[in-house]
Each structure stands twice: as C-alpha cells, then as structure tokens.
Amino acid sequence: MRPTVLLVEDELACGTTLAVALETENAPALEHTATAEQALAILGARSIAVLITDIDLPSMDGLELIRRVRAEPRLRAMPIIVTSAATDPAIPDRALRLGANAFFSKPYSPLAIRHKIEELLGDA
C-alpha cells in the first residue's frame, strides 16, 4: 500500500501543481483538503505518512495545525512540511520550532518538495 501525503492548501492551483509533481511511479498518494479542521479530522481517521500545510488557511492557520498535530502522541513523529507566501521573516523559524521538518517559501519548486517527501519517507 502506498503511503499517503495530506496537503492542506486552500489555493487550488498550488494543490494541482504539487499533485502533478508527485505523479511518478511509486509516488505516495496525495490527499488534498482546504482547511486545518478538515485535516485534523482526516488525521484522526486514517494513517497519513506526511503532512504538508500552508500557513495562511481559513479559520485556523497552519501554525496552530502544527501545534495540534504535535500535541497528539500518535502524530508526534509524523513529518510536516510547511509552505507559505508570508513575508514575515519570523514565520519559518516559528514553524520549525513548533515541529515542522521543512519550510518552503512560495513560490516553491514542486520537485524540491517531492524530493523532501522522498527523503522524509526514507527516514521513516
């Protein structure tokens, strides 16, 4: 069974671009949701290998999502990749201090994210 990557992104174009980059043989399955609340429901219901989250999300931001994921013992070790178009230079450091494994500024290279996913899954 292929591992699943959960993408939390409210901009459809970003999700589509990443889905295309992950369309390779033996690539993980990609599941996409637009809100942190939906992501928490998915994470509670099934096994996700890697979480990719944007920072700027409706109602609950990606930083709060990271906090909540890291507070769950079952999810504590799950790799988290963060993407953001935020211009605040403190955001990458905050995300990493909260427990993110990698941070990519938008616009990012989908190929670089694919390589990071492969690296993180190889470490699992």
Residues 6+ apart with CB under 8 A from 9: 15, 18, 32, 34, 52, 53, 54, 83
Domain count for the chain: 1
Is residue 103 domain-resident?
no
- Condensed to tens digits (0 to 9), the pLDDT of residues 85-94 reads 888 999 999 9
Supply the CATH number for residue 40's domain.
3.40.50.2300
- Condensed to tens digits (0 to 9), the pLDDT of residues 51-80 reads 999 999 999 999 999 999 999 999 999 999
Is residue 70 domain-resident?
yes
Is residue 94 domain-resident?
no
Residues 6+ apart with CB under 8 A from 84: 54, 55, 56, 62, 91, 92, 95, 103, 104, 105, 106
| 60: containing domain | 4-87+109-123
- Condensed to tens digits (0 to 9), the pLDDT of residues 101-123 reads 999 998 888 889 999 999 999 85
**Contact of 53 with 8, CB cutoff 8 Å:** yes
- Average of per-residue pLDDT values in the chain: 91
DSSP state of 87: -
